[in-house]
Amino acid sequence: MANEHPASGEDSLIARYFKPIATDPGAFGLTDDAAILKADGEDLVVTTDAVVEGVHFLSDDPPETLARKALRVNLSDLAAKGATPAGFVLTLALRTADDAWLSAFARGLGEDAGHYACPLLGGDTVSTPGPLTVSITAFGRVPQGKMVRRSGARPGDRVMVTGTIGDAALGLAILKGGAVAAALASDTAARDRLVGRYRLPEPRNALAAAIREHASAAMDVSDGLAGDLTKLCAASGVSAVIDAPRVPTSAAAADLLARGIVGAEALIAGGDDFEVLCAVPDAACAAFADAARQAGVALTSIGAVVAGAGPVRFLDARGRDMVLARLSYSHF
């Protein structure tokens, strides 16, 4: 008697949930050991970001938004580097293979893969006794030598940031209960908006070409504006002076700040913003702002790059240096 041909659980899981979203010809329908990424003379930009249950997301976060966030944090890196999305590979470490969960996860992932034209190319599904972990490596394309680095900021450049800062940290604070949740107990709409910003960042891929054209340096804000600006300045060998009241905030965040529920530090060191932080030469600011308007992305000038290797300064409404106990989130 010959052997049966049982499709393994892992293979049927991949075929069922992930093959439908692996639409790129280079993915070979997820039936091979590897994928093909074509380059055609462009540079390929590679970025990788993992999210861990209980660390980067909460156990009761919906699988659709978790999937989309895991992809979007990588898309955000590509946007900040001026790259056009080309595809991604996914490593999923799961405790159990739950149909309803996987179906929702794949649906969310597929929606964003389609929306951002960033197809699933391959991946690995493994079992873990530990927290659910989603690791994504994403690829983008830029013309040769045109990836926007952290290291190009020059004294005199404007410091600019997209969207609003601090909402995601407030959203997380709401999900954890405590003062912020209590302060917004009667404002469901504000709570939902802030939680939505935590669960579902808005990567600024619509602005990628303009960033490539106009920014001298860029990165996405993932660990907190203050800390990430510090990193950008260190890479560029410069410093910066930020006019803290100009840091863009949502109405809900501004209200919490005005009421003294949170301090400015909670916003500018909060993390999970996934906005683009960049340095833009003065002469390019108007054209960059035009491009942002056309892309429908809010863009705010918050300060200036200055010479020297000193610490980044955040000035309050009276021009005094703010003291920040922490700049960002660090894992260790």
Q: How far is the CB of 134 from a copy of itself (least distance, A)?
A: 10
The answer to whether 291 contacts a copy of itself (rule: CB under 8 A) is no
The answer to whether 2 contacts a copy of itself (rule: CB under 8 A) is yes
- The whole-angstrom distance between residue 315's C-alpha and the CA centroid of its chain comes to 26
The answer to whether 318 contacts a copy of itself (rule: CB under 8 A) is no
| Rounded CA separation 181/171 (Å) | 9
Choice between 270 and 289, CB closer to a copy of itself: 270
Choice between 181 and 306, CB closer to a copy of itself: 306
Choice between 160 and 327, CB closer to a copy of itself: 327
**Separation in Å, CA 122 to CA 6, 40, 76, 85, 91:** 22, 20, 20, 15, 9
- Binding region for a copy of itself (CB under 8 A) out of 8-16, 109-117, 186-194, 279-287: 8-16
Radius of gyration of the chain (CA): 21
| Rounded CA separation 90/105 (Å) | 12
Contact 128, 68 (CB under 8 A): no
Q: How far is the CB of 184 from a copy of itself (least distance, A)?
A: 29
Contact 75, 116 (CB under 8 A): yes
Q: How far is the CB of 217 from a copy of itself (least distance, A)?
A: 10
Site for a copy of itself in 37-76 (CB under 8 A): 37-52, 54-56
- Chosen residue from 34, 286, 287, 307 binding a copy of itself by CB under 8 A: 34
- Give the three-class secondary structure for 133: strand
The amino acid that residue 323 corresponds to is: V
The answer to whether 235 contacts a copy of itself (rule: CB under 8 A) is yes
- Binding region for a copy of itself (CB under 8 A) out of 87-95, 155-163, 279-287, 295-303: 87-95
CA-nearest of 72, 71, 254 to 166 is 254
The string of DSSP codes covering 200-242 is S----GGGHHHHHHH-SEEEEESS-HHHHHHHHHHHHT-EEEE
- Chosen residue from 6, 177, 260, 319 binding a copy of itself by CB under 8 A: 6
Choice between 40 and 60, CB closer to a copy of itself: 40
CA-nearest of 283, 271, 281 to 76 is 271
Q: How far is the CB of 181 from a copy of itself (least distance, A)?
A: 24
The amino acid that residue 88 corresponds to is: F
Interface map 95-134 toward a copy of itself (x if CB under 8 A): -xx-----------------------xxxxxxxxxxx-x-
- Binding region for a copy of itself (CB under 8 A) out of 28-36, 163-171, 196-204, 207-215: 28-36
- Chosen residue from 226, 238, 278, 291 binding a copy of itself by CB under 8 A: 226
